[in-house]
Amino acid sequence: MILYAAILETIDAIKDMEILDSHKAYLQKYIENGKIYAKGPFTDHSGGLVIYRTDSYEEAKKIAENDPAILQNSRKLTLKEWRSNIDI
């Protein structure tokens, strides 16, 4: 299965803390509809990772780019297609 890994690097820690609740709420709706396979922060507090399970790169990109953390410029997005080596 092909997934899409979004690396969300924190670029404005103060703003990121201000919008953290809206970022989490935004991701939650995609968890509930099965579009997010996994998510979580990096332990060094440099940002986080979201793994999308979507039908296309374009769909994952649209979801990722509309995340409040990206819209508010508190994080920088790097989105890559990722192929899991395990059955999920």
Average of per-residue pLDDT across 47-51: 98
Q: 73 lies in which domain range? A: 2-83
- pLDDT confidence tier of residue 86, bands split at 50, 70 and 90: confident
* Residue 26 is assigned to a structural domain of this protein: yes
- Residue 17: closest CA among 51, 45, 38: 45
- Which residue did the predictor score with more confidence, 2 or 69? 69
Average of per-residue pLDDT across 44-72: 97
Give the tokens for residue 56: 């296309």
Q: pTM of this prediction?
A: 0.91
CATH at residue 36: 3.30.70.1060
* Residue 63 is assigned to a structural domain of this protein: yes
* Residue 88 is assigned to a structural domain of this protein: no
* Total domains, the chain: 1
Question: Do residues 42 and 36 make contact, with C-beta atoms less than 8 angstroms apart?
Answer: no
